[in-house]
Amino acid sequence: MVGVGVAAIGSNTYTNHAATTEDYDLQRDPQQNRYLLNRSKTIYTKFSNALDRITKAEPGDIHGFIDYLQERLDERLESGSPPDAPALLDVLNSENM
């Protein structure tokens, strides 16, 4: 199944207007010896709700993110091409003082 685009129905403001997503399947036609693209189902959604769901990321733990960035900086330091930047925790601690 292949998901294809989302198109808004209604006015141009997109606020809680219905939208559709259509799924398509390839089906073989033995008489023509080729595949045809046929719509298998249509899914109706609220456009703004669906857009919010796929575009808004939920933030994770800031400390895990800082640790990851520090690991990457440490790898650079060990590889012989150090970045021109202080440790992240040093920067954050100096801003909090």
Write out the H or E segment, with its range, that includes residue 66: helix 62-79
Task: With H, G, I as helix, E, B as strand and everything else as coil, classify residue 80.
Answer: coil
49 and 7 co-located in one domain: yes
40 and 23 co-located in one domain: yes
Containing structural domain, residue 74: 62-96
9 and 26 co-located in one domain: yes
For the chain, the domain total comes to: 2
pTM equals: 0.31
37 and 20 co-located in one domain: yes
Q: What CA–CA distance (Å, rounded) separates 6 from 43?
A: 10
8 and 51 co-located in one domain: yes
8 and 31 co-located in one domain: yes
Distance from the Cα of residue 58 to its chain's centroid: 11
How many other C-beta atoms are found inside a 10 Å radius of the C-beta of residue 47?
21
Taking only the tens place, the pLDDT of each residue in 46-94 is 888 878 888 888 888 889 989 998 898 888 878 776 666 667 777 777 7
* pLDDT of 10 above 50: no
Q: What CA–CA distance (Å, rounded) separates 43 from 45?
A: 7
